[in-house]
Amino acid sequence: MKDISMKKPPKPSTAGIRAEYDFSGGVRGKYVGQYRRGTNVVLLDPEVAAAFPDSKSVNDALRGLLALVTRAERRKRA
C-alpha cells in the first residue's frame, strides 16, 4: 500500500505577509499595452529629477539637446 496522499497541500497562511506584499487589489496586465509599445522607464538621479517637474519637461530638454547635437554633426560634415 502506498502512503502518498492525493490531497492538495494546504495554502500558505496570509497572516504573516507584509502589507507591502499584498497584491489582492492589483490589476493583472495593467501596463501590458505600454510594455508592448516599447515604453522605457528611466530612473533619474534625485538632483536631476529636481530640475524637471514632469516628463514633458524632460522630453523637451532631451529634444533640444538632440537638435543641438544634430546641428553640430551637420556642421562637422560640411
Tens digits of residue pLDDT in 27-53: 999 988 888 888 777 889 999 999 999
Structural domain includes residue 3: no
Domain assignment present for residue 76? The answer is yes
Amino acid identity, position 23: F
46's grid cell: 534625485
pLDDT of residue 57: 95
* Residue 65: inside a domain: yes
- Does residue 14 sit within a domain? no
Instruction: Give percent of the chain above pLDDT 70.
Output: 91
As for how many domains the chain has, the answer is: 1
pLDDT attached to residue 67: 96
Compute CA distances 3 → 6, 12, 56, whole Å: 10, 23, 65
Instruction: Give dist(CA 52, CA 59) in Å, integer.
Output: 10
Instruction: Record the pTM.
Output: 0.47
What is the domain extent for residue 61?
45-78
In a domain, 64, yes or no: yes
- Given a cut of 80, whether residue 11 has pLDDT beyond it is no
Contact (Cβ atoms closer than 8 angstroms) between residue 52 and residue 58: yes
Note whether residue 49 is domain-resident.
Answer: yes
How confident is the model at residue 1, as a pLDDT?
54
